[in-house]
A and B are shown apart, each in its own frame.
Chain A
Amino acid sequence: MTRIENNLVRMSSRREWIRARFAVAMVLASFAAATVRADDADDRYVVVKTKKAITVSGEEIADAMIVITGGKIEAVGKKVDYPSDSRVIDASDLVAMPGMIDPHTSIGLPAVTRSGNQSHRKLSDSYYPPDGDLYQQMLEAGYTMVALYPPGSGMPGQYLVQSTYQPKDHAGLKDAGLIRVLFQRPASDKRALRDVLKAAQAEIDKEKEAATKPAEGEATSGNGAATSNPASQPAASAPASQPASQPSGKAASKPAGKPAAPTVPPQIETFVNLLKKKDGFSALVELGRASDLLHYEQAIGEHEFSTVFFFAGLDQGDLYNVIDHKVLGEAKASVALRPLLVNMPMSVNPYNPARLFTEAGCTVAFFPVQESVDEHETMRERLSLLVRNGLDRKDALKAVTLNAAKLLGMDKEYGAIAKDKFADLIFLDGDPLDPASKVKRVMIHGEMVWDAARSKTLKR
């Protein structure tokens, strides 16, 4: 209890400090604004004329125009109306596509690892943007967004989704809800997952029980609204604020006598949210080999929650065994793979897992083969190899953009050139699946942030 109070005190003092800093910044900004406001063109529409727009969510449109306002895409098409005072960017020699998204990397993170169940810990709490031009390199490779995973074993924490352009050391684009679960050593991981799910289910049951109990007492007074409330709420608020509504002193003291003290351990609470299917919560499960999936299935039992499967051990080659499996192909699950052809075990027969998963109806995304920027640069080349081996071109492009955003639960705002999505675009001088083509321009939220022609800092 005291610890929580301490935390509260600390937080409130911190908030005050931030507020103070904010005030100072506002004062400074007001001086600056007076001069900047005059030529600030933020409110104007931005129109980008392209050679081709690969929308990913829809068709590829030749000679397309993309209309952007407020950082978001307003319209895309061959002929689109736009206000006459719009700022027109001529990229009519370039192919536009959504910025690529890496759903799984630890690039630039310090080698501090966590183990055991630390699923409540956010990576953003200990995140500082790396020195150097790592993110700039990723940006130039065509990546506009990366999901950083907390390194470690077991359940080391929650992902941090970060923009590659001017990453901030706080929340980033999304820092909560994506729980990393490693499941590569079933002997221990199975037990850990079983235990935490059991504990979370127990908390949910307890809560349900507590929610129905006061309802039974209040049923006589006809106050049915309390049934849907969690137990802690009436217990905390009822005696103080609404003493009149309670039928008698006995009934009032009963919830007050045991204020339920919902001290759910935070690492259990994340799983409670997961099991309650709270919006934005999802388990990103990293499996080593095909067999781990069967163990995972045993571990979760009857529980159901939003899950993304990461197959890290593609070199095992045994993945083809489980592609049609109940929780993958049949459930049309979300999976993330490395963009590789793999050999059947003990053989020289390659197969294309991405294609098989796609044909099975799964949502497939790719993450780089290694934790290095080189792999970000090689990604389009690897995609072309997969496409040559039977993966549909559209699926390949989707896998690095829209599907990756979908895995992170951000496909409403990112991952495609479509209305109401953020204008995170890359412009290439050729087809994205042609390894010879290069990223020439990058746009983040409607702002051209990098141009190969003008950039002198990083000639590659």
Chain B
Amino acid sequence: MRYSWLVILGLILAPTLGLSPDSSDQSTAGATTIPASQPESQPAETPASGPTTAPSSQPTTAPASQPTTRPASAPSSQAASAPASQPTSQPAKPKDQYFALTGGRVHPVSGADLSDVTILCKNGRIHAIGRHVKVPEDAETLDASGFHVYPGLIACNTRGIVGSDPVEDTTNVYAMMLRLANAGGITTVITGNTAAKACYGTLDGISIRTDLTVSLRYGRPADRRSVRESLEGVRNYLREKEAFERKKADGDKDAKAPDDSAVGGGNSRFLQLIKREKAALVTADSRDDLVALCELAKEFGIRIVVRGAMEGWTIPDQLGRAGIKVITTPRRLNPRDEDRNAASGGSIELTAILYDRGVDVAVTPGATNVSLVGLAGRDLLNIPMEAAYAVRGGLPESAAIESITLAAARMFDIDDRVGSIEVGKDADFIVCDGRLLDFYTTVQWTVVNGRIVYDKADETLFSDIRPRTPTTQPAPYKFWPRPFKPKPAPAAGEGGRYGREN
């Protein structure tokens, strides 16, 4: 927090200084001060200066929007063809899809809040964030003035929202469940061991990553024994292998390669654990289990993500020192065990205490799908309410928002793609009509991969909740649900008839 002004400054200046990832590797000359994120205005100015500064003009003439896929021979012809409109100058490449979200209060989670900025997305990724970002003419825009913009929420444990593995072959993209997930602000779902996008109406870019974690059982003594044996086997193998290679390097011809059965077959996942390529996902609630996991993490140096951790508030320091990450469900509270002479049971303060001791903590509701019945907020339709409950237990609001976005992404090693509003990450946002954790707040738009997948004004499901109109005006629709009104047939060459109506 001490350096938050630097972050603000950096984020505001990032596009101006050409710090967006595409341009940073290209502007090697460093001398240019021309904003890299203004692809449209740039070519028009260059023809005069282009030919004179031949070698160093490449970054300036090359608009930031297309350097990564530019063919090697292109820059020389760029100056000549510069006045032509930029996106159409490359016939072989599909046209870049731009999306711009303007105005509003942006909560990037990874840094301090921003206001009155433009988030420019290109081909589903965030391309630039700043106040003076030039938006291409063909970009789809969304004016979020007066609204709050957050990164899309991540549901840590879902079933039935997208299909099973492989999601791109099994998902019903017009499923009501998917619509409801988007309405609840969810843009990323973890289902089974797969991370997928909840994007209504398209299969493009639905899969984020598969095979996320190594699922372990570490409750019963037999489970613990077998896990430890496997881990020890892998560790011994690695040690023997290292010794063998050292011997070989020394010229010892009698050296024998270690038996690699310890890392073959099903044990390969333990090798991934030891190498810290993947985290172990363990469900544990009791203090005993958590202590055992702390020891395991420390002994083998593996990364562990614990689901549940209800009694974690009794040993927060141990969890923090062991580097264990935790996914909590704040409203899941068991009573304390009266027979034990120690702290036990659930606590509303669990998430706050863990966060306070430096444990990376994510929050997920107890349900795995959207039910539309039962107590409000018990299911995925209202993830923020679960986080708000953690705030009730003392968690700072910013940490609570992080716990359902960026922290949740970190649990599954997908924080390079989703979880915050940063240049280079996926363009997944939700636009809310209030603070995210407020009970009255509803999601107005959901954007996934730079595409609006949910617009409350178009949706009949929640039209009983007042649409976003000034309260002085009567509500635009009297009845529920609103009638389906197909637009009149378009003139030739115009867009589809069932697009958004506003």
Contact = CB atoms under 8 A, between A and B. Distances in A.
B202 A294 contact: yes
B74 to A, nearest CB: 26
A328 to B, nearest CB: 11
Interface of A: 186-187, 190-191, 289-291, 294-295, 298, 318, 320-324, 329, 344-349, 351, 356, 359-360
A360 B173 CA distance: 22
Contacts of A349: 460, 481, 483-484
B497 A324 contact: yes
Interface string B150-182: 000000000000010000111111111000000
B476 interface: no
Q: Interface SS of chain B: helix, strand, loop or mixed?
A: loop
Given A191-B169, A320-B498, A324-B498, A291 B174 contact: yes
A303 B460 CA distance: 37
Given A187-B170, A323-B498, 7 more contacts: A186-B169, A187-B169, A294-B203, A320-B484, A320-B486, A321-B498, A347-B484
Contact of B163 (A187, A290, A320): A187
Interface string B176-215: 1000000000000000000000000111000000000000
Nearest to B170: A187
Nearest to A320: B498
B171 A291 contact: yes
Contacts of B498: 320-321, 323-324
B496 interface: yes
Nearest to A323: B498
A241 to B, nearest CB: 47
Interface string B427-465: 000000000000000000000000000000000110000
B48 interface: no
Contacts of A320: 484, 486, 498
Contacts of B171: 291
Interface residues of B, number: 23
Q: Interface SS of chain A: helix, strand, loop or mixed?
A: helix
B486 A351 contact: yes
Contacts of A347: 460, 481, 484
B489 interface: yes
B176 A345 contact: yes
Contacts of A348: 481
A47 B483 CA distance: 51
A356 B202 CA distance: 21
Nearest to A291: B172
A321 B174 contact: yes
Given A318-B174, A323-B498, A351-B484, A359 B489 contact: yes
A361 B460 CA distance: 28
A294 B163 CA distance: 14
Contacts of B202: 294
Contact of B203 (A191, A295, A351, A356): A295
Nearest to A185: B170
A84 to B, nearest CB: 51
Contacts of B174: 289-291, 318, 321-322, 345
Contacts of B483: 349
18 contacts: A186-B169, A191-B169, A289-B172, A290-B174, A291-B173, A291-B175, A294-B203, A321-B201, A323-B498, A324-B497, A324-B498, A329-B496, A344-B484, A345-B174, A346-B460, A349-B481, A349-B483, A351-B486
Nearest to B489: A359
B206 to A, nearest CB: 10
B156 to A, nearest CB: 24
Nearest to B460: A347
Contacts of B168: 298
B119 to A, nearest CB: 27
A140 B114 CA distance: 74
A24 B168 CA distance: 62
A295 B461 contact: no
Nearest to B482: A349
B202 to A, nearest CB: 7
A351 B481 CA distance: 14
A421 to B, nearest CB: 31
Contacts of A323: 498
A452 B313 CA distance: 86
A126 to B, nearest CB: 32
B423 to A, nearest CB: 30
